[in-house]
Structure formats: structure tokens, C-alpha cells
Structure 1
Amino acid sequence: MSLVIGLMSGTSLDGIDAALVECDNHHRPVLREATGIDMPEPLRRQLWQLCHAREAAFDTLAETEEAFCRLQAQAVSALLKKSDIAIDDIAAIGSHGQTIEHRPGGSFPYTWQLDNPSRLAELTGCRVVADFRRRDLAAGGQGAPLAPAFHDALFRDRQQWRVLLNLGGFANVTLLPPEGSDIPVVGFDTGPANALLDGWYTRHHEGRFDRDGAWAAQGHCQKPLLERLLNDPFFESAPPKSTGREHFHLPWLESHLKEEAPADVQATLLALTVESIARELERHLPPDTQSDARVIPCGGGAHNIALMKALSVRLSPIRTERCETLGWSPDWLEAGAFAWLAWRRLEGLAGNLPSVTGAAGPRILGGIYER
């Protein structure tokens, strides 16, 4: 049995999640403890600018990376204090880093996560496993999503299909067939979620996000705008596929706007998230299984009341199931995934699913940075 800490900072740029996970070869991963630490506004602004910059100075990158690394160390310290565990009892820290840009297509595929695992090892006194995505990319994969392998280890059911729906800055799904099925696990990004919802909200209000989807609920979905947005080629492309801010951003949204009211745009963005998810499930879930399948929402969007209500209506007869009923909080799955991936690296086990990422085969992901 190993205790591993996973660190995750997603595309929403709202903070760092830290999860303490118990891993072994005989049981499903167990969440022992978790905590989160908010992203300070100055660091959030720096990261936001880097995510949208065409060029950046080296000293800006170094300064931002150092600040981010120190925040990661604070998250580790807070988690250890909360769980009453000593750093010497931790086998490793799995650090995802902060994605700045992700371009898995084209002549020179790349993915870049701002991170300094050597510095994190120095600050925490713990072994660090990091740089998970590029090994899959090197093998011809998308480098994302990587969480489906963890979802497979954690949530596969004996009889029914389960769909893990992560609603972070971008939405992604993992389709898990019943145990014993010869159908491979499939997972991919479906399109934008909180990244555009938060960005449009921040454009018109103080605060970082539309709590409970209250502003979106005041507006009305504009179907012509929704159809213009859904005409983007990404939504019709076949898996494997992944995306990020380099594709879906506020200028992309603004290029489709006419004279819509801001609240109606927010309502339409919520509908875009719902519709893009629903269409993918209709394409990829076997029709005769949909009445028994369960969708399990996780990530920050799982707390958006308006989004959850709209999803429940649109996905029927597919039903949603709370992640907590399966033993995990929806807030810590991503951080838990990178704890598990770090443990897989220490064990010399593959961490990717080629059926998900499109890689040439299973690969051991991440590099090890000793303390």
C-alpha cells in the first residue's frame, strides 16, 4: 500500500486541488483526504495572460513558475496538516502542473504544462512525478484525457454502462462498458464548459464564476447562436480528440455574436455545454443501453444547479448519479487521478489508454524527481 498526493490545477485557474490517495495492486484507489487552495489573483492574472499570449519573456515565465510551485507546496503542506500525515509517509507527489497550451495536432504536436518538479521536490522534501502528458504525445497520442484510465480502475460496474463527465474548464467524458465487455474504454473532450461560462461572466460581473448558473438562468438560449457555435468542426470530429483555451476562447465566442443580450449569451453557452455532451453520448453509447446507463458528473460544473438541471432534461432517458454515492467527492477526482498516475509510474505500469488517446500503445507516463 502506498500513500500518494495528487496535485491538479485545471483550466478554470481557480486554485490547486490536493488529494491524498491510498493505492495498491489489489483494491480500488481510496481517497483518504483532500483539500484545495485558492489561486491568488495576481498569479491567476499571470497564468491567464500566459494562456492567451503568443510570446512571453523568460523572466515572466520563471517568476510565474516559481509562484505556482510555491502554491503547490502550500497545498501539500495544508493536506498533510489536515490528514495528520508526515511527508516521509508519502511515496510521491503527482504534479500535473498548469496547462498553458495544448496542441496535439498539426506538424509539431505539443502540450505545455507550467511546472517545476525539481523545485517542488526541494520545497516539500518529497519525491515528485510530473510531465505525464508528453510521453503519450510522443507515442502519437493526444496526451489527453489521461483521467479515463483512473476512472476505469475506480468506477467500472459489473452490469451497466457508466459515463464519467468531468465539467472543468472543458468538458470530457469517459465511457465505461460493463466489466467483462470486449468494448474498449473511450474518453475524449466534448468541448467548452466553465472556461467560456466563467470568462463571459467575468466580462460582465465582478467575481470569477456564475454561482449556481443564476445569471444563465435569467437569460434565454438563442438557438441561432447555438447552431453557429455548434458548427465548429471540433464538435463533429471523431475521437480521439482534446481541446483547450487555444481553440475555445472569448474571441472565438465573439466572432459568432450579433446583437444578443449578455445574459442570453450566457444561457446559450450553458446550452452549448449541454448539447455538445448530449450529442456525443448519443453517438457513442449503444442505443439499447442508454436507459440503464448512468452519467456521473464531477468537477466544478457539477455544482452548477442550472447546468445540472439542463443536463438531466436533455440526457433523458440516461440518468445522472451523484459521484458521492460511489465513494468519491466530485471535487477531487482530477487530483486523485494524478496521484494514481504517479503511483503507476513508481510501479512501472502504463498510465494511458490507447483507445482513449490514440497512442501507439500503453506507455509508462511521467518522470521521477527524487527529493
Structure 2
Amino acid sequence: MTTNTELYIGLMSGTSVDAVDAALVAFNEADSTPNFLALYSHPIPENLKKNLLACNQQNTLSLDTFCQLQVSTGRLFSETAQQLLKQESLQARDIKAIGSHGQTIFHAPGIGMSLQIGHPAIIAKQTGITTVADCRIDDMALGGQGAPFAPAFHQSLFSEPYQNSVAVNIGGIANISLIPAGDSQEALLGFDTGPGNCLIDEACQRFFNQPYDINGKLAESGKVHRELLEKLFTDDYFKYPAPKSTGRDKFNWQWLNQFEIDTIEPSHLLATLTELTAITIAEAISTKKDYSKGNIWVCGGGAYNQYLMQRLQAHLPNANVQSSSKKKINPVAIEGMLFAWLAKQRLEHRPVNLKDVTGATRNAILGGVWQP
């Protein structure tokens, strides 16, 4: 690293609620190019995970519980950042800022509010590092969906000079970024397509006593239940036009239970849920002309599910579906990198190019700043 390089940390816990990821990112001051350096993942303690997931399946929460979760999650995020520093033999003074997403417990674009837990004041004070957080509400205050935020950052990573490309993030919820060719006048677009890993993971935990479907082997051993799949597709969300966003408060086990799944063999259920994820992503990409023919870069935990990747390729036969690791970018690190990048944009007072993605009336400077 040169003297013209700044280090940032991005903290992310997604809708899978399995771990807090801390990404160490170096930015060259001359061109703000993000360079991934290291990742540390801190598992979320089971009791805290249980309480956070419960928030996604209810719309009421006591103030006492809310405050306890703010503190517990804030401390967990702080500890994750500190463990990354320790892993990389760095001190707080070496880091320009932390960008923290927090843990989403309620996302309500219809109301114009999104709640992320894990207070940034705790992170800033415990780490001794300036912390940028609470980014989504700035977009929502301008009429935007407050999600997805990844497209603007995906553009900086995956844009190609002469052809359109797509970035697909498959976390608990899946979202896509439709990235126009470098010489195109088209707008950058992106939206949440629906469930990613969230229902697949929960089925694995309920029926197979494992946290997720390793390489998709369990789903691959089953058969798609066509009648159930057709029922799942009747949900109105899949018919909504973009811009749109969703969360685990929408697509959860209560949502799935309404389709009378009790008589379906677990491996067949997993195969069906995996097919739901693959088809909804593929159909969302195919609605935009010429985006289903080029490179499709997959990031998030779903990039490691080989069967899901195969099903996505099967539904996009003219595209080249591949993991972001082919670009030497850790698939799990990208969302952490995103929030490191958002922290840099905020400190430099740069608006983020999202209005065509989220539907906001204009691009905005995102997030608040908490000093140590």
C-alpha cells in the first residue's frame, strides 16, 4: 500500500442472519478504486440470532427488547471490527472509517421507513473509529425504496466497456443489478427479486439440522413439486414492476406455511425453494433486453451453492453465470465492501447514484456520521 491509500472497514449482516462480515478495503485516493484486502466473519450467537429473526416475523416489539437488541448487536459489530484489526495486525488509527449496515429488523418501503439494529454510536465509541451508518432512510426520505443499495457499487466492480452485465447478490433475499455497457446512455437499474437463501436455509435447519444446503446437495437429491411452485409464484410481489424491495419480514416461514407444505417431503421442498430462487432471478434479468446474454456475476452466499448456480445457468442458457471469485472478489465480502465504499462516499459528501434504482426523486448523500 502507498501513502495515497486509505483503509476502510465495511460491516454487514444480511437477511440470512448467520454472521457479521467485516471487510477491509483499500481505496486509492486518486481514483477511489476499491481493493479488497481481508475478511473476518463473526458468527451471530444463537440466542441473539433467534431474537433478531423473531423481529422479522412480527410487527410489534417492546421498547425494552428493542433497546437490548440495539446494544447487543452494536457490541457484536464492534467486536467483529476489532477482531478484523487483530487478524490483520492493524490499529484503530490505521482506519479512516467504518461503514456499518446493521441488522435489518423491519423494512417498510410502503411506510417510508427501514429499521437496522446495532447502534453506530456503540461501534464508534468501542472501536475508536469514525462510523457511518443508517444510510437507507436518506433514500426513503426522498421517496425511494431504500434498497437495494448494491447496484451503484456493483457498477464500479463489474461494468464492462462494450457489453451489458449483471450482478446478482444471493443472500437471504436476492437482488440484481443491471449494469449498462460503459459507452451506453442507459440508466443503471436494480431491485430485489424475492427470496434468495432465506427459505432454503430455514428448511435445512428445520428438517436436516444443518445451517444451509452445502453445495445444494440436499435440493439436488429432491424433485421440484410443480404444484407448490405454481402456488408460490402467485404472490403479488413477483408481479410488481421495479423499483421494488423486500425483506425477511415478507418472505419467511409464515409466508411459506400458507401454501400447505406439511405433506411435502423435505428434499422435494428444498428442490422447489431452490427452483423458486433461480427462476425469479432469471425472469427478472430476462425482462430487460440484452441482459440475459452476457456475463452474470453472482455474489453472496448463494455463489457457493453449486446446484443453485446450475439451475440459474439452466434458466439463462445464453448467459455466462459465474461467481465473483472469478474476478478474484470474495463473494461474501462484496456487501461489506459496499458499506466501506458508502462510508467513503459519505465522508467525501458524494451523492450515490441510486435514484433510477430505488425510485427516489434525486440522488442523495447517504448516512449519518458518529465520531469516536
What TM bracket, shorter-length normalisation? over 0.9
Please give the secondary structure, in 1, of the residue aligned with 2:287: helix
Within the alignment, does 1:20 sit opposite 2:20 as a pair? no
Q: Which residue of 1 aligns with 2:15?
A: 11
CA distance in 2, matches of 1:328, 1:248: 28
Instruction: Within 5 Å, give how 1:339-350 maps onto structure 2.
Output: 339-350=340-351
Stretch moving more, 157-166 or 78-87 = 78-87
Please give the secondary structure, in 2, of the residue aligned with 1:321: strand
Contact 1:352 1:365 in 2 (8 A): no
Within the alignment, does 1:69 sit opposite 2:74 as a pair? yes
Q: Which residue of 2 aligns with 1:188?
A: 191
Amino acid at match of 1:2: E
CA distance in 2, matches of 1:247, 1:47: 15
Please give the secondary structure, in 2, of the residue aligned with 1:221: coil
Normalising by structure 2, we get a TM-score of: 0.95
CA distance in 2, matches of 1:290, 1:37: 36
Contact 2:201 2:212 in 1 (8 A): yes
Provide Cα deviations, 1:308-340, integer angstroms capped at 9, x if missing partner: 111122211111133123231111000000000
Structure 1 vs Structure 2: percent identity of aligned residues?
Answer: 39
CA distance in 1, matches of 2:128, 2:79: 13
Contact 1:127 1:369 in 2 (8 A): yes
Q: Is there any run of 5+ residues in structure 1 with no aligned partner, and where?
A: none
Contact 1:93 1:129 in 2 (8 A): yes
Contact 2:175 2:193 in 1 (8 A): yes
Q: Is there any run of 5+ residues in structure 2 with no aligned partner, and where?
A: none
Instruction: Within 5 Å, give how 1:1-371 maps onto structure 2.
Output: 1-23=5-27, 24-105=29-110, 108-257=111-260, 259-284=263-288, 286-287=289-290, 290-291=292-293, 293-371=294-372
Contact 1:136 1:352 in 2 (8 A): no
Please give the secondary structure, in 2, of the residue aligned with 1:239: coil
Provide Cα deviations, 1:214-238, integer angstroms capped at 9, x if missing partner: 2211211011211111111111111
CA distance in 2, matches of 1:12, 1:249: 11
Please give the secondary structure, in 2, of the residue aligned with 1:311: helix
CA distance in 2, matches of 1:78, 1:352: 32
Provide Cα deviations, 1:104-138, integer angstroms capped at 9, x if missing partner: 02xx3211101211111111011110100000000
**Aligned-pair CA distance for 1:27:** 4.4
Q: CA RMSD of the aligned region, Å?
A: 1.4
Amino acid at match of 2:317: S
Amino acid at match of 2:105: I
Please give the secondary structure, in 1, of the residue aligned with 2:58: coil
Contact 2:162 2:183 in 1 (8 A): no
State the number of aligned residues.
Answer: 366
CA distance in 2, matches of 1:19, 1:54: 32
Provide Cα deviations, 1:171-196, integer angstroms capped at 9, x if missing partner: 10001111020011111001101111
CA distance in 2, matches of 1:135, 1:318: 35
